[in-house]
Amino acid sequence: MNMKKKLFNLVLILLPFLGFAQIGGSVVFDPTQASNMSTQIANTTQQIGQLEKSLEYMKKASETLNKVNGYVRDVSTVTEITNMYKESVSIASRVRTDAQRIKNPNTRKRVLTNVSQLLTSLTSGVAFVNKILTNDFFKMTDKERLELLNTERRKILIKKSKLTSYLN
């Protein structure tokens, strides 16, 4: 069931791109950039899936390890971060679809390039959070872990805000 949900989410994310690639005629379109962005979105979505697996492990561990108070707090923080990653990828997908309405090719290219750069940065962020969760997670102090997660949370908020600014 979980795999079906992931496939369904991936199809929802990629569906607008498939339609966008079919548009011809009046819309000037850079297929290489669109392909790269589709790949970035797919890669980021895959990494978010890995993050969700780590989060699921954390949730199970937190249920059995009631003595680790900070761990439960970390589960909430990682849940929030994961949701922000998902929202950011969703916004990027919408911006990519909406970019077809931008009349000026230079403006459209600038928007798509900026969104692509933000997606690259998001992908790096997801990889970083996955590292925090998998590499010596239990050896870190609560303070160290929380500082790293809060720093990443702030970065995602900024990136998400930038992506949102391209909507319309």
pTM of the model: 0.60
Q: Average of pLDDT values for 95-100? A: 88
Let me know: does 51 contact 130? Beta carbons within 8 Å.
yes
Give the C-alpha separation, 117 to 77, whole Å. 25
**Among 50, 33, 47, which residue's Cα sits nearest to residue 123?**
47
Q: What's the domain range around 26?
A: 2-165
Confidence at residue 22, expressed as pLDDT on a 0 to 100 scale = 46
Binned at pLDDT 50, 70 and 90, residue 31 comes out as confident
The number of domains in the chain is 1
